[in-house]
Amino acid sequence: MSKIGMVVCGNSGIDYIKHDYNIKVLRSILFIGDKEYTDFIDITAEDFYSKLENNPALTPTTAQAATGVILETFEELRDSGYDQILCVTVSNKLSGTHQGAMMAANMVEGVKVTVYDSLSVAYPEAKMILTAAKMAEDGKNIDEIIDALDFIKNNHTLYVSVNTLKYLVKNGRLSGASGFVGSLLKIKPLLVLTKDGRIESKEKIRTTSKATEALISKFLEDAQGLDIEPYIVHSNATDRIDFVKESILAARPDLKEVKDYPLTPVVGAHAGPGALALGFILNKK
């Protein structure tokens, strides 16, 4: 039976989820002013959003994990006795991490590497690697694991409400942003993660409260009658989390709970502080 090593990029937020699996994390780099930080290692979500809120003039930038670092990660797993590696990455439309992982996979010798594009970010990506790790532990082969990841990729929904579009536009992460440029500070739009892994505008909204209501309404509409795992991912949007949870559970008491996770700083550098994403993953029967 093959021994499958697990790798995921830090954009998944896996660092903020408790688990017992051996999962290697590819960490991106965050630049704030003249200082460089390795995501999660040098700066946590709480510290990062505190910096942005205390100094709104800060314009953080990011860089993906170097191909050489990814290669070293693959080699480390190979040398530890793994004969296969699964590497799950953030959407190729949102980062160059997938391309870097593909390059490293072609460079490494003595181990087969499968690089899987989640076409997603944050919790759905973390769900994929956690599912893969459990399946590998249970003796499933790589083809069975990929089938399970395909199901998650094809059966999850993620809507996002941001306090400002300036970070997404500045870093080029918002598709079709040209229509917003003249009124960035006035719009609190509803954004969606598309099936092909892009972030684009779904609806133009003028206030945060209305954007939050639209987020909840869209979630309930899309999830109606479905057996799902709901989740919230946020960049220190603590003022809205309880309201969103209470609204969802009031309408869908069968869900029992809505877990929330912080958006890791490298992703938060593009979403900005106060962003809140609400989504669900369909449970496989």
Q: Specify the domain boundaries for CATH 3.40.50.10170 within the chain.
A: 4-28+64-154
Q: Specify the domain boundaries for CATH 3.30.1180.10 within the chain.
A: 156-282
Residue-wise pLDDT for 120-162, tens only, equals 999 999 999 999 999 999 999 999 999 999 999 999 999 999 8
Q: Has residue 173 got a pLDDT over 70?
A: no
Q: What is the pLDDT of residue 207?
A: 85
* Residue labelled with tokens 């989504």: 279
Q: CATH number for 4-28+64-154: choose from 3.40.50.10170, 3.30.360.10, 2.30.30.90, 3.30.70.100.
A: 3.40.50.10170
Q: Return the CATH number of the domain spanning residue range 156-282.
A: 3.30.1180.10
* Alpha carbon distances (Å) from 111 to 2, 74, 90, 269: 11, 8, 22, 34
Report the predicted TM-score, pTM, of the whole model to 2 decimal places.
0.93
CA-based nearest residue to 81, from 21, 140, 3, 135:
3
CA gap 24, 10 in Å, rounded:
9
Q: What is the pLDDT of residue 188?
A: 77
